[in-house]
Amino acid sequence: MPLDLASIDLSASLSKPEAEARLLRAQQHLLHLRLVNGGLIGDRIGPPLLILFEGWDASGKGGAIRRLVSPLDPRHYRVDSFATPSPNDQRHHFLWRFFGSIPGNGGMVVLDRTWYGRVLVERVEQLIDEVSWERAYGEINDFERSMAAEGVIFVKFFLHISEQEQLLRFEGRRDNPLKRWKLTDEDWGNRALRPKYEVAVDQMLQRTDTSHAPWIIVPAESKHYARVFVVEKTIEALERGMRRVGLEPPQSEGLDYDSIEKA
């Protein structure tokens, strides 16, 4: 898939019944993989799995993360969310606050927003100077390379929606009392800066897409499609990573889901 936003086909979709069927199959298989990779089934522990989520405001990151982890035992994964750096965070190198989120062997961590804020919001909002965000590309690549050398499996998602779809979702949140909390003045402000963000996103994708930590752009105009896409791509990456260390991924076809759910 090309690594620029303009080339992404946002028309991809699935009917709700097809999406639900594929999602259930993928979730069941991911659960089985997670148990094997974590050493809870079998006698080996596999490599660490680190899943990064970036994307437009209202692109569906939260919904995709919920579907990704919902079949798993809460003891077997962690979701860490990152917002604006605190005053204490700002006293340190920008990568410092993420160190504690790196999983160990057999672990699984999902990051909702990541160190890529350095070359996105901090760049676009001019919270740092150009020298700092230009330097950050190399710092990020070195950071990810060092983790990959230790065995970390990277799955880096950017959820992409059109400007028109984003407006519809913003309006839906604004008009729903139970979702209004998700929409802030900062979200509207970011939307007004979308052309600058598009430039920053494209440069981020091009300059930090590597063989050990490749980017995956998620066509997220259809929430049903995006959620299935995220789980299936995570499975592919986890299976590749397991095979690299000689751990053959299990087959889940025909397996009683309840039996592994209780494992």
Q: What is the DSSP letter of 189?
A: H
Per-residue pLDDT of the chain (263 residues; tens, 9 = 90+): 558 899 999 999 999 999 999 999 999 999 999 999 999 999 999 999 999 999 999 999 999 999 999 999 999 999 999 999 999 999 999 999 999 999 999 999 999 999 999 999 999 999 999 999 999 999 999 999 999 999 999 999 999 999 999 999 999 999 999 998 988 888 898 889 999 999 999 999 999 999 999 999 999 999 999 999 999 999 999 999 999 999 999 998 767 666 555 55
Give me the residue label for tokens 């927003």.
Answer: 113
Amino acid of residue 232:
E
Q: What's residue 254's pLDDT? A: 67
Domain residue ranges in the chain:
5-252
Closest CA to 206 of 1, 4, 51, 8: 4
Neighbours of 66 (CB within 10 A): 12
Closest CA to 139 of 156, 123, 119, 154: 119
Token pair belonging to 141: 């690549």
What's the gap between Cα 3 and its chain centre?
16
Burial of residue 177 (CB within 10 Å: 0-12, 13-18, 19+) is: exposed
Give me the residue label for tokens 């019944």.
Answer: 17
Tell which phi-psi region holds residue 126, choosing left (phi > 0), alpha (psi between -120 and 50) or beta: left
pTM for the predicted model, two decimal places: 0.94
Q: What's residue 261's pLDDT? A: 55
Q: What's residue 199's pLDDT? A: 97
Q: What is the fold, at CATH topology level, of the domain defined by 5-252?
A: Rossmann fold (3.40.50)
Q: What's residue 260's pLDDT? A: 54
Helix, strand or coil, per DSSP, at residue 184: coil
Q: What's residue 40's pLDDT? A: 95
Give me the residue label for tokens 């579907």.
Answer: 67
Q: What's residue 215's pLDDT? A: 98
Q: What's residue 255's pLDDT? A: 72
